[in-house]
Structure 1
Amino acid sequence: MWIKICGITSAEDAGIAASESPDAIGFVFYAGSPRNVLPEKARDISRNLPKGILRVGVFVNPDWDFIEKTASLSGLDMIQWHGPAFPEDWFLRIEKLGLPWIDVRKVPPDAKEWSGPLAPFRGATHVLVEQSSARLPGGNGQSWNYSLAAELSRHVPLILSGGLNENNIGEAIRNVRPFGVDVSSGVESSPGKKDRQKMKRFFEEVRRHGNT
């Protein structure tokens, strides 16, 4: 089971995450988030991470120049895009950048079934699904009916996100059978501050249910 720990804001938290050997960590480059980091800080944190852990940059409606500069400066391996579909001319630019990217899909709070497309958006390597919110972009720690994503999971490399924690991750994995999971607030003691014990228990649950 592929695991991404998102919202890393410090070298200390990166170390806590790395001790559990995740597949990826996420840096949020969005000023409106309590987990926002500057590209320079993400670069410094990345330098001390073990090889093999992907550095994912989470972007929210920025201009493309910001994405390119941040990806280069921070040493990113992958991009996660929150916002409307890429403008047509961006596809050529992301191809030139040479980084895989994660397409984010939102499930409305009142949804009864999956109603979105069953294929990744053009060029995306993975699809991350979370519940839509009128608050900040991202899952906002909101649990939702994860089984709504089960159909999509049969068609794409799906990353399940939004409100996941040690108590609900087992059921979510059993119901959806995703390619991977993404967690942020579910392993925190406060916004932007990771908790070692919550992280450890989350990994234990993911690996226990992800191998069955």
Structure 2
Amino acid sequence: MADIRVKICGLRSPADVIAAAAAGAVYAGFVFFPKSPRHVTLDQAREMAFAAPVGLAKVALVVDADDALLDSITEAVPLDMLQLHGHESPDRVAEIRARYGLPVMKAVGVADEGDLAAIFDYSTVADQLLIDAKPPKTAALPGGNGLSFDWRLVAQRRWLRPWMLAGGLTPENVAQAIRLTNARQVDVSSGVESAPGVKDHAKIKAFSDAAHLLAANDGIPRW
């Protein structure tokens, strides 16, 4: 059956991980950024990683992390992917990918058409791209702000790598976002929370159900 791949980011407990998997998510995101209300310790992330069922990809989100931090994360937590959500240059993305031997997803913030060039730059070095809303200059967080962008900017576009749509997605608007952009993968964090950093398991299921139901009804092909 045709499907959409869902990523639930900012999980903070084994129960969150199990709820994401039960809802049909393919990716589980663990945030390693102290300023975020979704930040987890190495011990928390390790416990969640071991709770993850087979088939759920465990993704570590970092922001401009140095090698020391990445070493500690990758040594302590069994991971399937690294997500770079800072100002990492294409060279730094390539360096991290080579050093750790893990697939790398690079987040690119979009506010207007001028931001799209960076997507092409990173598509030559990253395994996947996460296209997110560009945060305001005053924002404390690079993502997870519950903000969306004009989805028409990326509608029906193709890049060299698989990409994931993020930014302000909710159970109520994810179907519209997929239909407009033709995204095959979607990422949500604050859109399935009852409070900052507190995942609502019913909202996780509603989000995943909305994405999968659209794919089933519209016959959207796999990428």
How far does residue 97 in structure 1 lie from its aligned partner after superposition? 1.2
* 2:151 matched residue in structure 1: 146
* Mapped contact 2:123–2:160 kept (Cα < 8 A): no
Q: Distance in 2 between matches of 1:46 and 1:131?
A: 27
Q: Tell me, which stretches of 5 or more residues in structure 1 are unaligned?
A: none
Provide the secondary structure at the position in 1 that maps to 2:117.
Answer: coil
Counterpart in 2 of 1:72? 75
Q: Structure 1 stretches (4+) deviating beyond 4 angstroms?
A: none
Q: Deviations along 1:89-135, whole A, 9 cap, x unmatched?
A: 66345313110001111112xx2676424534443111101111131
> 8 Å contact 1:114–1:149 — kept in the other structure?
no
The match for 1:2 is 5
What is the one-letter code of the residue matched to 1:165?
A: T
Partner of 2:16 in structure 1? 13
Residues 1:24 and 2:27 are matched in the alignment = yes
SS of residue matched to 1:150: coil
* Aligned twin of 2:66: 63
Aligned-pair CA distance for 1:17: 1.3
Task: Work out the number of aligned pairs and report it.
Answer: 210
**Contact persistence 2:63–2:87 (CA under 8 A):** no
Deviation at 1:87, TM superposition (A): 7.1
Which residues of structure 2 form unaligned runs of 5+?
219-223
In 2, the alpha carbon distance for the partners of 1:154 and 1:94 equals 19
CA distance in 1, matches of 2:92, 2:131: 25
Calculate the TM-score normalised by the size of structure 2: 0.86
Match of 1:202 among 207, 215, 219: 207
Contact residue 43 and residue 75 of structure 1 kept, 8 A: yes
Contact kept in structure 2, 1:131 and 1:139, CA below 8 Å: no
Query: How far 1:60 moved relative to its partner?
Result: 0.5
* Higher relative contact order, chain-length normalized (CA < 8 Å, sep 6+): 2
Is the 1:170–1:206 contact (alpha carbons within 8 Å) kept by the matching residues of 2?
Answer: yes
Q: What is the Cα-based RMSD across aligned positions, in Å? A: 2.0
* Alignment correspondent of 1:123: 125
User: Mean Cα displacement is larger for which, 35-44 or 68-77?
Assistant: 68-77
TM-score (norm 1): 0.90
Residue number among 162, 172, 175 corresponding to 2:177 in the alignment: 172
2: CA distance, partners of 1:39 / 1:122: 31
Aligned residues with identical type, % of pairs: 33
Q: What pairs with 1:179-190 in structure 2 (closer than 5 Å)?
A: 179-190=184-195
Question: 2-side partners of 1:49 and 1:83: how far apart?
Answer: 26
1:48 aligns with 2:63: no
User: Any idea what SS the aligned residue of 1:116 has?
Assistant: helix
Structure 1 residues 145 and 38: alpha-carbon distance in aligned structure 2, compared to 1, 3 A threshold: same
8 A contact 1:100–1:125 mirrored in 2: yes
- Call closer, same or farther: CA 1:60–1:124 in 2, change over 3 Å: same
Instruction: Note if contact 2:171-2:206 (Cα within 8 Å) is conserved in structure 1.
Output: yes
Equivalent residues of 1:160, 1:180 under 8 A apart: yes
Aligned mates of 2:97, 2:161 — CA distance in 1: 20
Query: Aligned pair in 2 of structure 1 residues 89, 5: CA closer, same or farther (>3 Å)?
Result: closer
| Distance across 2 between alignment mates of 1:58 and 1:5 | 12
